[in-house]
Structure 1
């Protein structure tokens, strides 16, 4: 194999590959990226046996072939090469070495046989649809903060993507929860997604997918089966196993009878919560919200380090209410609001609170209160 490829193009391809590779693994081949060159394209494939990413890049192929080389090492080399450099990758197929040349720099890296590299088995995908990049970015970005990190409840370690009934017919919905907070985000149902099986997309896959969603003009081809999900752009294909488990009935958690309505400037609210939480070294410190007519007082009392209080002008017309929340959870939910105002719907100090952006019901958040 012998190819020449522009440094920026190569860096993009190997950075996606090396982020999929697990740093600690007992199978040496899984630390490698499989490079395949043919025609005028080089493809870079990496896997951890649960996720597989293939990045195809334009290259000048002098000699077709394939080999595998350490993904992290190759990435570090390419990252440190000068901008605009032309990189030549070559191996003779017998020495077990890949030569990397750029300008006056030459590197010789150990390789492993391509035959040892595990390729994810192909699957028939009963559901195939296309979605605009901003739609998928919104669905996953606004829900992923609520993914559980508790390994024992493995079925909560991802985002549940499924078809659901919205206010005006069927929608494509993403839901994540860790038992303390919940995010439910809806988008118009793409054509072809109507029969899609609900799947739990793992946290690592959600993070890798985010790297494909920067170009607003790109459409993502989404394919779903009961065991796998695949996201493909013209240059990159990301395939992942889905979490084998049943996502709980989240609809029972979303309160329906909350009538006390607070409307507040989302950015001001987030800044105020951040400020009053500064006095506490504990990230899980409760922030107390005291609500009176058109007035909100945020306070934190940390016996070891002090206390803080801040008052905000808000729109609130119901009876007086005192309720406490984990400061971190409040901040994460408030930071999801793209519009100017956040609307909180309360019932009592012991019941879950609902939050949304203005009157928009396509993004709904639930947060459990804390005793204060």
Structure 2
């Protein structure tokens, strides 16, 4: 195998691949990236056995072939090469070495046989559809903060993507919850997604997927089966196993009778919560909200470190209410609001609170209160 490629193109391709590779693993081949050169391009394939990413890049291929080499080492080398450099990669399979040359720099890297590299079995995808990157980014970005990190409840360690009935008919919906807060985000259902099975997309896959979604206008080909999900652009294909478990019936925890309505400037609210939470205890991070007509007082009382209070002008016309929340949860939810105003709907100090962005009902959030 022998080919030359521009440094910037190689860096982009290898960066996506090496981020999938687990730093600590007991199977040496999983630390490697499979490089396959053929025709007028080269592809880089990396896997951790749960996720597989394949990145295609244009290159001048002198001799077709394939080999595997340490993904992290190759990425570090390419990252440190000067901008604009032409990088030549050639392998000597007899010696088990890959030569990386650019200008006066020359590296010899150990390789492992390409035959040992595990390729994820292809799956029969029951649903295939196309969605623009901006839509998918909104669905996953606005829901992923609520993914649980508790390994025992593994079925909550991802985003549940499924077809649901929304305000305007059928919708593509993403839901995540950790038991303390819940995020539910809808988008119009793309053509071809109607038969899609509901799948739980793992946290690592959600983070890797984010790198494919930078260009709002790009079209992402999505394929879903009971066990796998695949997201593809012309250059990159990300395939992942889904979490084998049943996502709980989240509709039961979304309150429907909350009538006490607070409307507040989302950015102002987030800044005020952040300021008063400075003195809250690390363990509870409790912030108290005291609501009266058109007035909100945020307060923290931490016997060890002191207390803080801040008043905000808000739109509120119901009876007095005192309710406490974890400051971190309030900040994370407030940071999801793209519009100017956040609307909170309360019932009582002990009931879950609903939050949405202004008049937009396509995204809603639920947060559990805490005693203060």
TM-score interval for Structure 1 and Structure 2 normalised by the shorter chain = over 0.9
1:214 Cα deviation (Å)?
A: 0.2
1:280 Cα deviation (Å)?
A: 2.7
The answer to whether the aligner puts 1:230 opposite 2:230 as a matched pair is: yes
Q: CA RMSD in A?
A: 0.7
Correspondences of 1:98-247 after superposition (within 5 Å): 98-247=98-247
1:302 Cα deviation (Å)?
A: 1.2
Number of the residue aligned with 1:250: 250
Q: Deviations over 1:239-277 (max 9, x none)?
A: 000000000000000000000000000000000000101
Query: How far apart, CA to CA, are the structure 1 residues paired with 2:224 and 2:278?
Result: 44
Given that residues 261 and 344 in structure 1 are in contact (C-alpha distance below 8 angstroms), is that contact kept between their aligned partners in structure 2? yes
What is the SS of the residue equivalent to 1:36? strand
1:126 Cα deviation (Å)?
A: 1.1
Query: How far apart, CA to CA, are the structure 2 residues paired with 1:283 and 1:16?
Result: 37
Query: How far apart, CA to CA, are the structure 1 residues paired with 2:78 and 2:298?
Result: 50
1:281 Cα deviation (Å)?
A: 4.8
Given that residues 281 and 304 in structure 2 are in contact (C-alpha distance below 8 angstroms), is that contact kept between their aligned partners in structure 1? no
Number of the residue aligned with 1:315: 315
Runs of 4+ in 1 over 3 A off after TM superposition: none
Q: 1:281 to 1:13 in 2, by over 3 A?
A: farther
Correspondences of 1:20-35 after superposition (within 5 Å): 20-35=20-35
Given that residues 276 and 310 in structure 1 are in contact (C-alpha distance below 8 angstroms), is that contact kept between their aligned partners in structure 2? yes
Query: How far apart, CA to CA, are the structure 1 residues paired with 2:301 and 2:23?
Result: 42
Structure 1 gap ranges (5+):
none
Query: How far apart, CA to CA, are the structure 1 residues paired with 2:115 and 2:284?
Result: 50
The answer to whether the aligner puts 1:344 opposite 2:348 as a matched pair is: no
Query: How far apart, CA to CA, are the structure 1 residues paired with 2:103 and 2:338?
Result: 47
Query: How far apart, CA to CA, are the structure 1 residues paired with 2:263 and 2:283?
Result: 25
Given that residues 263 and 316 in structure 2 are in contact (C-alpha distance below 8 angstroms), is that contact kept between their aligned partners in structure 1? yes
Given that residues 280 and 286 in structure 2 are in contact (C-alpha distance below 8 angstroms), is that contact kept between their aligned partners in structure 1? no
Q: Deviations over 1:305-355 (max 9, x none)?
A: 111110000000000000000000000000000000000000000000000
1:65 Cα deviation (Å)?
A: 0.3
What is the SS of the residue equivalent to 1:91? strand
Number of the residue aligned with 1:334: 334
Given that residues 280 and 287 in structure 2 are in contact (C-alpha distance below 8 angstroms), is that contact kept between their aligned partners in structure 1? no
Number of the residue aligned with 2:47: 47
Query: How far apart, CA to CA, are the structure 2 residues paired with 1:77 and 1:281?
Result: 45
Query: How far apart, CA to CA, are the structure 1 residues paired with 2:253 and 2:356?
Result: 15
1:283 Cα deviation (Å)?
A: 6.0
What is the SS of the residue equivalent to 1:30? helix
Query: How far apart, CA to CA, are the structure 2 residues paired with 1:255 and 1:113?
Result: 56
Query: How far apart, CA to CA, are the structure 2 residues paired with 1:72 and 1:201?
Result: 25
Number of the residue aligned with 2:67: 67
Query: How far apart, CA to CA, are the structure 1 residues paired with 2:144 and 2:82?
Result: 36
Given that residues 284 and 328 in structure 1 are in contact (C-alpha distance below 8 angstroms), is that contact kept between their aligned partners in structure 2? no
Q: Deviations over 1:54-81 (max 9, x none)?
A: 0000001011000000000001111111
What is the SS of the residue equivalent to 2:42? strand
Query: How far apart, CA to CA, are the structure 1 residues paired with 2:202 and 2:357?
Result: 26
Number of the residue aligned with 1:15: 15
TM-score, length-scaled by structure 1: 0.99
Given that residues 283 and 327 in structure 1 are in contact (C-alpha distance below 8 angstroms), is that contact kept between their aligned partners in structure 2? no
Query: How far apart, CA to CA, are the structure 2 residues paired with 1:241 and 1:15?
Result: 21
1:93 Cα deviation (Å)?
A: 2.1
Query: How far apart, CA to CA, are the structure 2 residues paired with 1:13 and 1:282?
Result: 41
